[in-house]
A and B are shown apart, each in its own frame.
Chain A
Amino acid sequence: MSDVVERTLTALPSLLSSDPSPGRPSSTSKLGTLIRGITELTSKHDEEKLIQRELVSIKEQVSSPNTTMRQMKELMVRAVYCEMLGYEASFSYIHAIKLAQQGTALDKRVGYLAVSLFLNESHELLLLLVNTVLKDLQSTNLIEVCMALTVVGQVFPKDMIPAILPMVEEKLNHPKEIIRRKAVLALYKFYLIAPNQVQHIHSKFRKALCDKDPGVMSASLHIYLEMVTEKPESYKDLVVSFVTILKQVVGGKLPIDFNYHSVPAPWLQIQLLRILSLLGKNDRSTSEMMYEVLDESLRRAEMNHNITYAILFECVKTIYTIHPKAELLEKAAKCIGNFVLSPKINLKYLGLKALTYVVQQDADLALQHQMTIIECLDHSDLIIKRETLELLFRITNGQNVKVIVEKLLEFLRHSKDDYVTIDLGGKVTELAEKYPSEMISSSLWCMNE
């Protein structure tokens, strides 16, 4: 997108004049005029005046009986824009619902979009959405069914779940994968806001997990991640399924359009690794079922792309979380080493983060890389510095505590951030309590900020 700057700059004058170009909404459209107006302003006060005028204009037009649904759509987008800038447009909320109700196609979709942006779970107007959603769920037009399921997955009043649940459940059997997938995501939403309302349909989640479409299966993983986080013991019987799915993904068995830069469904891999990590923790026999696929994942993620590094990071985390296996730990340690030594700053950061995560189990690893860690301590990037301090805090012992506390205090001295102060200050206090004799002898306590 970098060469687009030129294109944008050359296009700007003509766009800010009155020539509409094909395919792009004219800048003389109301939204265009508004945006152009805001872009040219320099003071907050002027922005306020302009937006207030805009809101008055929108209010007038939404209340007019002559406004078409197409026009209402434009008005809702303008209202969304005003709210995005921080100016409340609550008078438009009801009209967004009406647009979802009375509009068709894109107009309807924008109505639903505006509702999802304007309203939160507890807003009383949301109840008015339920009838519209119920109607659209029964539509013969699949696009409308999709829209309804999407909005249900975003914002829905908890108390009305029973009214809509049967219809959503029915969609789980729909021939089209997009409908099944969105139905699962709607159930995920219900699980998040009212888990007891969906207690009775756990068998349907299992069915979704085994769905022949990878998209539907992926959608079910969101629900499973939640459930496994709460009660891993109840899902040990599914480990085989998760391992098999990960094997298939890593082995390239998914259709090619699930690839991202030649890597098969990376975010899905990461999701599965997280679930496995929770299931294998403190459980030797369960962990043993995973070693092979973890080894495979490590091996496959050989390419030099950020996304494979992201998978590797998650893999390493999983290996260190579950019941230990020597060969895997060795490979994971090597991986962390590569990250820490990498000239790429993002990878270095991840390496430090990984070291911090594993240091309790493998303090030697940090020792191995102490030269690099010391270098990072003086890094120009404050984020790297801070992450290094985080790591050092965890490998403090009687010998190095003075030096580490000194470094922490130095960072504190230069930081103006309240959160940093509280966090690091807390760490210093903790160390002082842990190693009182080493600390008393030093003059560090002059630093009473």
Chain B
Amino acid sequence: MIKFVLMVNRQGQTRLSRYYQPVELGRRAALEADVVRGCLYRKKEECSFVEYKDFKLVYRHYASLYIVVGITESENELSVYELIHNFVEVLDKYFSRVSELDIMFNMDKVHIILDEMIQNGHVVETNHSRILAPLSALDTLAHS
């Protein structure tokens, strides 16, 4: 299962975090900093899966952001690697070529999108139009 999804920039500032297993608030910042350190110093030619403590991290680097997903042993690393990309594609669709700023200033909407894709640490939807449908409906209501 997926333990958490993080979007962190190179300076280690968290732009989004969603935990699918309870992690005490006080421990999150340290965990996130540690996790990001684990990924930040990896070279381009190195693999995108990092053994971390007793679980694994799958990370992808997009411009100024690192998207890091914590997974348990049983999870298919490459499928999570592509899930991250699918998520970015959906964000690109919604924000028309998404940037770190879009994510920073629309944290609630990014969460709403992520909520459609992952629930209880499992992938529940990967079809772009279905993922975006609820948010688009809300946007339409807001403008009517």
A residues in contact (CB < 8 Å) with B: 1-2, 4-5, 7-8, 11-12, 15, 24-25, 27, 31-32, 35, 38-39, 73, 77, 80-81, 83-88, 104-106, 109-110, 113, 116-117, 120, 143, 146-147, 150, 153-154, 178, 185, 188-189, 192, 215, 218-219, 222, 257-258, 260, 265-268, 270, 306-307, 309-311, 313-314, 345-346, 348-350, 353, 380-381, 383-384, 386, 419-420
Contact = CB atoms under 8 A, between A and B. Distances in A.
A178 B130 contact: yes
Given A266-B79, A310-B79, A1 B92 contact: yes
**Which 3 interchain pairs have the tightest Cβ spacing?**
A310-B78, A86-B29, A310-B79
A4 B64 CA distance: 9
B141 A265 contact: no
B138 to A, nearest CB: 5
A7 B79 CA distance: 30
A106 B99 contact: no
A309 B78 contact: yes
B16 interface: yes
Given A266-B79, A310-B79, A109 B138 contact: yes
B23 to A, nearest CB: 10
Given A15-B101, A117-B111, A346 B53 contact: no
A85 B120 contact: no
Contact of B119 (A88, A154, A268): A154
Interface string B17-54: 11000100110110000000000000101111111011
A8 B64 contact: yes
Contacts of A189: 119-120
A86 B99 contact: no
Contact of B82 (A110, A215, A307): A307
A380 B42 CA distance: 11
A32 B101 CA distance: 10
Interface in B88-126: 88, 92, 97-102, 104-108, 111-112, 115-116, 119-120, 122-126
14 contacts: A4-B99, A11-B99, A12-B101, A25-B105, A81-B107, A105-B138, A116-B115, A143-B137, A258-B127, A268-B126, A345-B47, A348-B47, A381-B43, A386-B51
Given A1-B88, A8-B64, A86-B29, A77 B108 contact: yes
B126 A77 contact: no
B109 to A, nearest CB: 9
A152 B137 CA distance: 20
A215 B28 CA distance: 34
Contacts of B54: 419
Contact of A306 (B47, B78, B98, B129): B78
A420 B126 CA distance: 35
Q: Which of B78, B92, B134, B142 neighbours the largest number of chain A CB atoms within 10 Å of its CB?
A: B78
Contacts of A257: 127-130
A218 B122 CA distance: 12
Q: Which of B17, B54, B82, B137 neighbours the largest number of chain A CB atoms within 10 Å of its CB?
A: B82
